[in-house]
Amino acid sequence: MFKALASRVTWPARERWFVGLAVALVVFLGSGCAWFGRRPAPADTQAVRESELHALPIAPDVDYAGALDLGDGRKLYHSGRDLLYAEGDQFYPVVVRGYPHLVGPSPGGEAVAFLEPFEFEMATDLYVFDIPARTLRRLTDHHDHGSTLSIKAARWFDDRTLYYLEGYRYGTVSRGGDLWRVDLTSLERRPVVRVMGLGAELEEIVGFEFVPHHKLIRYVVARYDQSGAMRRKSLYCTLDGEPVD
């Protein structure tokens, strides 16, 4: 067809016809290349799936009591019932409709520990939220087994070690318990100081702190007599629980 059309025109007209055809071809190829350059990038299905499963927009009507600044644009919002991790404009629910109690960030700032559910006569467990990995790990298992024990308090010693008090779940008097330690690398839990049920009177550890320069632990033991009167005494031990005079 193109040959028949070309034979009907004079050479100048034929030349103009070929020039027009060449221009049209260049325009067509150029627009095709432009579309190819502007085409949508292939979807990263794994990234989209993670975003849909974990990230969510912050609810504007949620009243958060405060925010823990983790640096680099990262924050941990907490309320009486929720714990929400924010990284830039992405939000990740850590605890929803629970009763979390913040222990605080690890010394290196790469993890956050908290107790949940932290309510009267509830079986409380100890959790650690890994910030870079955005993963949650439960370190105790009182809730699943209907335990009569509960976690009362916890403290970071270093980036891989937490000490905590484990005591009776029920009762209006009990505020502490025995002192335990958990290693986040091996997940090994072991008792450090045990005082519950060892004497005629009720005893429990109601507080502890580290004495870093001497690598010791100072802990407070409360003793209750039959009338409910309480006496306290402070004691010291090594990090492994050996008594120190």
Domain ranges of the chain: 99-244
* Residue 35 pLDDT: 33
Residue among 200, 201, 199, 219 at smallest CA distance from 209: 219
Q: What is the 3-state secondary structure (H, E, C) of 28-49?
A: HHHHHHHHHHHCCCCCCHHHHH
- Residue 92: predicted pLDDT: 84
The pLDDT of residue 122: 78
pLDDT tens figures, 52-95: 325 665 554 555 668 889 988 898 888 878 888 888 878 888 88
How far apart CA 47 and CA 44 sit, in angstroms, is: 5
Model's pTM, two decimal places? 0.72
Cα(33)–Cα(17) distance, integer angstroms: 24
What pLDDT does residue 48 have? Answer: 22
Q: Specify the pLDDT at position 81.
A: 81
Instruction: Give the mean pLDDT per block of 10 residues along the chain (245 residues).
Output: 44 52 48 37 26 47 73 86 84 81 93 88 87 89 77 95 91 78 93 82 91 93 82 95 93
| CATH tag for 99-244 (out of 3.30.70.1520, 2.40.50.140, 2.130.10.120, 3.40.190.10) | 2.130.10.120
Q: What is the spatial distance between Cα 172 and Cα 40, in angstroms, rounded to a whole number?
A: 63
Pair 96, 80: CB distance under 8 Å: no
